[in-house]
Amino acid sequence: MTAFTDLPLKPALLASIQALGYAAMTPVQAQSLPPMLAGRDVIAQAQTGSGKTAAFGLSLLQSIDPETIRLQALVLCPTRELADQVSKAIRKLAANIPNVKLLTLCGGMPLGPQLASLSHDPHIVVGTPGRVQEHLKRGSLHGGGIKVLVLDEADRMLDMGFAEAIDDIVGRIAKHHQTLLFSATYAQEIRAVSARVQRDPVDVTIETPASQAPAIEQRFVMVEPAQKLDALAQLLTAERSGAAAREQALVFCNMRKDVDAVAQELDRRGFSALALHGDMEQRDRDEVLVRFANRSCAVLVATDVAARGLDIVALPLVVSFDIAHDPDTHTHRIGRTGRAGETGLAITLVTAREKPKADNIEQVLASALPWQALKIGPARGKLLQLAPMKTLVIDAGRQDKLRPGDILGALTGDAGLAAKDIGKIDVFATRAYVAISRDLANKALERLRAGRIKGRNFRVRSLG
């Protein structure tokens, strides 16, 4: 069974599925939705990109009764970025059910506005464990009516030290609820959490057929510490000039300060590179994610935790500037490339001191690591590392009733740009981002400054 219409779903949900253009269920959905809709607990091994969000989103929306003003579904996520993404996905699925109230409650955000929006119980809360626990403790959030608890990316939540918070939350919500646990990896600790919080769960593991298995080519490169940056620049340039031009790359560093240093150095060398880590203001982080997703950043340098928020289906190239501390993290990193039929390349730089970590990975892989010799030569003349797009920011957003169509209209009007030169448009509460073909970005900027958007003049700037 792969058709959504075979499932006992509310017509409003089937309508959303159709509007989203989902023709058939993904394997995770096909295996997990029937038991979830039957009320069973489910533990599913599912990666980002597998369609897991829609799987638990549909299931929880099927369970809630919008006419009862009570918290009925709680989704716990490891990061704010993921919580935002999950909230967005559930809102889309709920688009045809009137009056569903969903709140996103994450740490790192001021408490006041969250308390204000909790004056009436939402039906659904999506949040990070620490903050959700805090609200339950304070009594600003009421867990007594929860029917469905979702643990999304449970392995990451454990990595981030949220095990205790999760246990405490489970102790504070309705005793009888359904628990849906999603995790990319099935470590022993995940089994232990499942045993603590689930009842007779249905186990969903998707065997990826060899023909569909993502093709990931791994390479390990031995470098001197002082050569790491040259090696990185060379690898990025070389891989970019190949026949299959690799337009974007994700570079991992183990420490935040190195993320900044590497991004700055790449920028100095002419790459469209940006840094992403947890020390940054939320607004700056959002901006970086927008710029990477709309292709105006070619190289994103990030810590493992920060990279979790990336909603990019398949990156052509992933580089570990520092080798991951453990094999699990390494597996997560390389899993960011080569999804669903696309070939990906994962390169890991290794210094002599880091060699034991490579040996650990080798043991887990149970096969010899593919080492590659790299001769570091003089930098090439041609700059292939510029992103194809550039981002313009408009200091107006949803609060000004600005919609993507208004921006598109202002840019494509008479004597304007062709639609093909305009990329992704993201509208936030108070600002909007639009990607423009790099060569035409200045022209677009002038046009937006000279003209009007929706009959008004807003401040517009170009980023980078």
**Where along the sequence are the contacts to ligand AMP (CB under 6 A)?**
22, 25-26, 29, 48-54
Least separation in angstroms between CB 29 and ligand AMP: 6
**253 vs 289 by CB, closer to ligand AMP:** 289
Closest by alpha carbon to 27, among 251, 208, 211?
A: 208
Closer CB to ligand AMP, 181 or 233, in the complex: 181
Half-sphere exposure of 64 (CA within 13 A, CB side): 33
* Residue (33 or 402) nearer to ligand AMP, CB: 33
Q: Which is nearer to ligand AMP, 47 or 437 (CB)?
A: 47
Closest-CA residue to 344 (of 320, 316, 310): 316
Q: How far is the CB of 78 from ligand AMP (least distance, A)?
A: 14
Distance of closest approach, residue 49 Cβ to ligand AMP, in angstroms: 5
CB of 33 to ligand AMP, least distance (A): 10
Smallest separation, CB 56 to ligand AMP (Å): 9
Number of H helices, E strands in the chain: 17, 18
In the complex with ligand AMP, the residue whose CB is nearer, 127 or 145, is 127
Q: Up-side HSE of residue 350: CA atoms within 13 Å toward CB?
A: 25
How far apart, in whole angstroms, are the C-alpha atoms of residue 67 and residue 53? 24
DSSP state of 269: T
Chain position whose Cβ is nearest to ligand AMP: 53
The half-sphere exposure of 18 on its side-chain side, counting CA atoms within 13 A, is 9
Beta-sheet strand order (sheet of 460-463): 422-427, 432-437, 389-394, 460-463
Residue 114 or 128: which CB sits closer to ligand AMP? 128
Q: How far is the CB of 81 from ligand AMP (least distance, A)?
A: 12
Closest CA to 57 of 84, 25, 99, 92: 92
Q: How many CA atoms lie within 13 A of 387 on its CB side?
A: 27
Residue number with CB closer to ligand AMP (51 or 423):
51
Residues 6 or more apart whose CB falls under 8 angstroms from that of 247 comprise: 240, 295, 298, 316, 387, 388
Tokens of 232: 């990185």
Q: How far is the CB of 231 from ligand AMP (least distance, A)?
A: 32
Nearest approach, Cβ of 53 to ligand AMP (angstroms)?
3
How far is the C-alpha of 243 from the C-alpha of 229, rounded, in Å?
Answer: 24
CB of 339 to ligand AMP, least distance (A): 9
Distance separating alpha carbons of residues 361 and 359, to the nearest angstrom = 5
Q: Which is nearer to ligand AMP, 20 or 379 (CB)?
A: 20
Nearer to ligand AMP, 2 or 457 (CB): 2
Q: State how far the Cα of 234 lies from the Cα of 213, in Å rounded to an integer.
A: 29
Q: Which of 208, 199, 197, 267 is nearest to 232 (CA)?
A: 267
